[in-house]
């Protein structure tokens, strides 16, 4: 088996791995490169392989950095099947249509070229082959199955085995511990090579038990000073997690009544998908649903799908809470709210997810006191409050624990999907803890398993 790294090597985005095994050439993920602009120039580059020679694609989950170049792959004559779980298929449909819409708006507004068109998105959807977890699929000389990664709804890691030969595991993104709604990450089997994400490979999250307490405190402070709580949240999973916890706080009288605006058409659409498939919930969420509790709806919640409804938030009375995308603040409706409210000391910006280098979110996280949004210079007087326990990614300890449960059966680890220092730190810890060879591959590197 031969694996070549065509993305997410010493960086977070652009996940794409070419696997040549048996008589099959397949990809694990085909993600978009992200940074300061939605469609960076690198997304227009050649893949590094001929899409016509690829027999199949296996998708780990529906985040844009794992699915965002699928339409480009189709546009360049890929004609095989795309394997993924049913929730991932439903959410990827939403994500790719949203991405195409953003590109169309950028073309009209700034004359930016589009990476692909709606027809390409439609052809991606037609190529989907949905799978249940743990179902083994046989291709020509190779087989694989999807296991629950516990990262976002429908997420998976891939166990791939060459007939009579080696086995490789692709982690996708590994989920955090004790995340509402999601089931825990499944334990991996033995393997000759593990490609493991390292987003937080050099860091530990806060204790997850503090998550709800800190959210409650931020809301109480906002209400007390009659201000605004801005929560830039990824439309997939992070938003639903927040709604789940807000539902708990409000229905149990743990916070005063306050207007909460879900200002994200994509998050609203994804929430409908998650509500439609309770069989993927963890035990507690499933128990609540069976009792008749709507986990994502409660008193004071306003879903503002249309632009007109979104604009009405501007004149809504204080205090108020606004949940909007994009999660890294590099696009979406959150930017309009930041322009309006960042310069107020009565505003709190709650950061609940990873902020990549080059994004507006990373600059605010790093403490910049002046930022530019839509070519407008904004003074930052708002309080910026990160809560790491809301991350959808495993931290260093969770990753080590996951590997540790199978360390005697893991021969080689490749740390991917992490900035260089993060990936290197995780590789070092793996060598120290388990004596397993661990490397940090570069873009274009090829390894033989």
Q: From start to end of 93-227, where are the E strands?
A: 128-131, 137-138, 142-148, 156-162, 167-170, 193-197
Cα distance between residue 184 and residue 149, in whole Å: 7
CA separation (Å) from 107 to 14, 93, 101, 121? Answer: 22, 21, 10, 17
Given a cut of 60, is residue 345 above it in pLDDT? yes
Give the model's pLDDT for residue 406: 74
Given a cut of 90, is residue 359 above it in pLDDT? no
Identical topology for domains 2-203+392-448 and 208-390: no
**Contact by Cβ (8 Å): 14, 40:** no
**Contact by Cβ (8 Å): 295, 243:** yes
Q: What is the domain partition of the chain in residue ranges?
A: 2-203+392-448, 208-390
CA separation (Å) from 201 to 204, 220, 256, 427? Answer: 8, 33, 38, 8
Cα distance between residue 299 and residue 305, in whole Å: 18
Q: Which residues contact 229 (CB under 8 A, 6 or more apart)?
A: 218, 219, 222, 319, 320, 321, 322, 347, 348, 350
The predicted-structure confidence for 82-134, as pLDDT tens digits, reads as follows 999 999 999 999 999 999 998 998 888 888 899 999 999 999 999 999 999 99
Give the model's pLDDT for residue 341: 97
Give the model's pLDDT for residue 97: 96
The predicted model gives 331-344 an average pLDDT of 94
Q: Calculate the CA 360 to chain-centre distance.
A: 17
The predicted model gives 264-286 an average pLDDT of 94
CATH number of 208-390: 3.40.50.10890
CA separation (Å) from 290 to 100, 178, 281, 295, 322? Answer: 37, 20, 11, 11, 29
Give the model's pLDDT for residue 364: 95
CA separation (Å) from 206 to 12, 241, 384, 423? Answer: 21, 16, 17, 20
**Average pLDDT value for the chain:** 93
- HSE (side-chain half, CA atoms, 13 Å) at 191: 28
**Contact by Cβ (8 Å): 374, 335:** yes
The predicted model gives 38-53 an average pLDDT of 88
Cα distance between residue 217 and residue 202, in whole Å: 28
To 10 degrees, the CA torsion angle through 358, 361, 362, 364?
130
Q: pLDDT band at 354, cuts 50/70/90?
A: confident
The per-type count for the chain, helices as H runs and strands as E runs, is 13, 22
pLDDT above 70 as % of the chain: 99
Cα distance between residue 4 and residue 12, in whole Å: 17
Given a cut of 60, is residue 37 above it in pLDDT? no
Given a cut of 50, is residue 429 above it in pLDDT? yes
The predicted model gives 8-27 an average pLDDT of 95
The predicted model gives 358-366 an average pLDDT of 91
The predicted-structure confidence for 219-237, as pLDDT tens digits, reads as follows 999 999 999 999 998 888 8
Regarding the domain delimited by 2-203+392-448, which CATH topology (the fold level of the hierarchy) does it fall under?
Metallo-beta-lactamase; Chain A (3.60.15)
**How many C-beta atoms surround the C-beta of residue 370 within 10 A?**
10
The predicted model gives 247-260 an average pLDDT of 93
Q: pLDDT band at 407, cuts 50/70/90?
A: low
Q: pLDDT band at 39, cuts 50/70/90?
A: very low
Cα distance between residue 344 and residue 94, in whole Å: 34
**How many C-beta atoms surround the C-beta of residue 19 within 10 A?**
25
Helix (H, G, I), strand (E, B) or coil at 184: coil
Given a cut of 80, is residue 389 above it in pLDDT? no
């Amino acid at each position: 088996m031969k694996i070549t790294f065509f993305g997410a090597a010493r960086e977070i985005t652009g996940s794409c791995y070419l696997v040549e095994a048996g008589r099959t050439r397949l990809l694990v993920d085909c993600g978009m490169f992200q940074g300061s602009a939605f469609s960076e120039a690198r997304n227009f580059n050649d893949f590094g392989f001929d899409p016509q020679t690829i027999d199949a694609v296996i998708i780990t989950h529906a985040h844009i950095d794992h699915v965002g170049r699928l339409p480009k792959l189709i546009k360049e004559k890929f004609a095989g099947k795309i394997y993924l779980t049913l929730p991932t298929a439903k959410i990827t449909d939403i994500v790719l249509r949203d991405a195409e819409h953003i590109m169309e708006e950028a073309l009209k507004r700034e004359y930016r070229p589009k990476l692909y068109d709606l027809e390409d998105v439609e052809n991606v959807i037609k190529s989907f082959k949905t799978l249940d977890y743990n179902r083994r699929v046989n291709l020509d000389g190779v087989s694989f199955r999807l296991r629950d990664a516990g990262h976002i709804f429908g997420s998976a890691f891939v166990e791939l085995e060459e007939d009579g030969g080696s086995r490789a595991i692709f982690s996708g993104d590994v989920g955090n511990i004790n995340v509402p709604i999601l089931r825990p990450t499944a334990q991996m089997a033995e393997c000759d090579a593990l490609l493991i994400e390292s987003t937080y490979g050099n860091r530990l999250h806060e204790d997850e038990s503090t998550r709800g307490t800190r959210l409650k405190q931020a809301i109480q402070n906002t209400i007390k000073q009659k201000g605004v709580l801005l929560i830039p949240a990824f439309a997939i999973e992070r938003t639903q997690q927040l709604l789940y916890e807000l539902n708990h706080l409000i229905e149990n009288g743990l916070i005063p009544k306050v207007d909460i605006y879900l200002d994200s058409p994509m998050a609203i659409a994804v929430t409908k998908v998650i509500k439609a498939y309770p069989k993927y919930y963890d035990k507690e969420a499933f128990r609540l649903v069976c009792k008749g509790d709507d986990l994502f709806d409660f008193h004071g919640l306003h879903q503002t799908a249309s632009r007109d409804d979104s604009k009405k938030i501007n004149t809504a009375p204080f205090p108020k809470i606004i949940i909007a995308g994009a999660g890294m603040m590099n696009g979406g409706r959150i930017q309009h709210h930041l322009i309006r409210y960042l310069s107020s000391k009565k505003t709190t910006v709650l950061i609940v997810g990873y902020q990549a280098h080059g994004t507006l979110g990373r600059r605010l996280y790093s403490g910049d006191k002046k930022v530019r949004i839509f070519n407008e210079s904004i003074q930052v007087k708002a309080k910026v409050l990160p809560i790491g326990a809301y991350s959808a990614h495993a931290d260093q300890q969770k990753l080590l624990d996951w590997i540790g449960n199978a360390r005697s059966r893991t021969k080689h680890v490749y740390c991917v999907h992490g900035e260089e220092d993060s990936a290197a730190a995780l590789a070092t810890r793996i060598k120290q803890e388990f004596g397993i060879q661990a490397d940090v591959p570069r873009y274009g590197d090829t390894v033989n398993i």
